[in-house]
Amino acid sequence: MKKTAKGSLVSILVPVYNESPNILEFYFRMTRVMSQTGYRYEMVFINDGSRDDTLDKLYSLRDKDQRVKIIDLSRNFGKEIAMTAGLDHCRGDAVIPIDADLQDPPEVIPELIAKWEEGYEVVYATRTRRDGETLLKKATAHLFYRFVKRLTPIPIPKDTGDFRLMSRKVVDALKQLREQHRFMKGLFSWVGFRQTSVTYRREPRYAGRTKFNYWKLWNFAVEGITSFSFMPLQVATYLGFGISLFAIAFALYLFTSTLLYGNPVPGYPSLMVTVLFLGGVQLTTLGVIGEYIGRIYNESKRRPLYFVQGKAGLEDGKEISRLEGVN
């Protein structure tokens, strides 16, 4: 069993991209919840290149409350990278990534912390319901989680977002994974450690609109699958194999029928169908291979994951000292 001292620091990681109308409400609800837990805490906001006044609001919050910390990325890098920046900078003994739009209710956090106190290293929050989202989004999300589960050997918990608690051990492990194509939910699971879950109801957005359209979600899904599975590449093999078997059978049939009945009609339709079908299969499999090669190409450039153009409260050495006896 792990000892979690009451003096432990809890880091709340909040990636924000144009979340201006949500910031204050988020801050108040989070403050209320966190002050009840009795833990020391920091709220690390990662500004992911917002174009509204999100950053100003964050700085004015920080003027009043030093527990608000800010990482300002040099542009919009996307949520996965924003969370990575947060993981890299936060100091907490427990770290909780959460959305700024209050879809993940902060009120669940005490439950996460309770499980952490029991000795779990990862406590993920699984949604039992999603309110305020379109049927199509719910249906595609449902399908996606089940599809990924079948394709990938690592157990990515279904209906679970990024909202979870991770201990320092897990965060330190995650920090070593520096790939460009980051499907965080997968990486969270990949590192392993003792895990458990709590359930919650996903609420509608407090204000503003989702940043993810279906094209982004589709790409996100492709990322999730290609990051953790070779199955699409293997599909090409099996498809090719299946088609070859079929082709042999078909050839035998043509051969015997020509011998028995002659060949009165030149086989234009069957020829066209075969050519088009094979062409389609070949292009698709080439595309699949291309997806993987593109990713290899990107990884091979070894670019930094993000650039930071401003930081507040996270400068090295200025941090409140961590209490001992933790972990």
- Is residue 19 at the binding interface for Mg ion, with CB under 5 A as the rule? no
Cβ 253 to ligand UDP shortest distance, Å? 52
Nearer to Mg ion, 103 or 226 (CB): 103
State the angle between helix axes of 20-37 and 109-118 in degrees (0 to 180), rounded to the nearest 10: 40
Choices 57-65, 99-107, 267-275, 289-297 (CB under 6 A): range interacting with ligand UDP = 99-107
Q: Does 80 bind ligand UDP (CB under 6 A)?
A: no
Window contacting ligand UDP (CB under 6 A); options: 77-85, 107-115, 164-172, 248-256:
77-85
- Which of Mg ion, ligand UDP, none does 15 bind, CB closer than 5 to 8 A by kind? ligand UDP
Using the rule CB under 6 A, which residue among 93, 99, 121, 223 binds ligand UDP? 99
How many Å from the N-terminal Cα to the C-terminal Cα in the chain? Answer: 10
Phi, psi of 77 (to 5 degrees): -105, -5
DSSP symbol at 46: E
Among 10, 17, 86, 112, binds ligand UDP (CB under 6 A): 17
Which residues in the 194-233 window bind ligand UDP by CB under 6 A?
Answer: 210-212
For ligand UDP, which is the closer residue by CB, 25 or 117?
A: 25
Span from 85-93, 97-105, 194-202, 316-324 in contact with Mg ion (CB under 5 A)? 97-105
Beta carbon nearer to ligand UDP, 13 or 174: 13
3, 326 Cβ separation under 8 angstroms: yes
Handedness of CA 174, 169, 96, 192 (dihedral sign): positive
**Distance in angstroms (rounded) separating the CA atoms of residues 2 and 258:** 77
Task: With contacts defined by CB under 5 A, name the span among 102-110, 145-153, 193-201, 295-303 that binds Mg ion.
Answer: 102-110
How far apart CA 83 and CA 93 sit, in angstroms, is 17
- Phi, psi of 112, deg, nearest 5: -60, -45
For residues 120 and 54, give the distance between their C-alpha atoms in angstroms, rounded to a whole number: 34
Residue type, position 309, single letter:
Q
103 in contact with Mg ion (CB under 5 A): yes
Give the separation between CA 263 and CA 260, rounded to whole angstroms.
9
CA angle 176, 182, 185 (to 5 degrees): 90
The residues in 232-251 that bind Mg ion, with binding defined as CB under 5 A, are none
Instruction: Give the binding site for ligand UDP (CB under 6 A).
Output: 15-17, 19, 48, 76, 78-79, 82, 99-101, 103, 210-212
Instruction: Give the binding site for Mg ion (CB under 5 A).
Output: 99, 101, 103
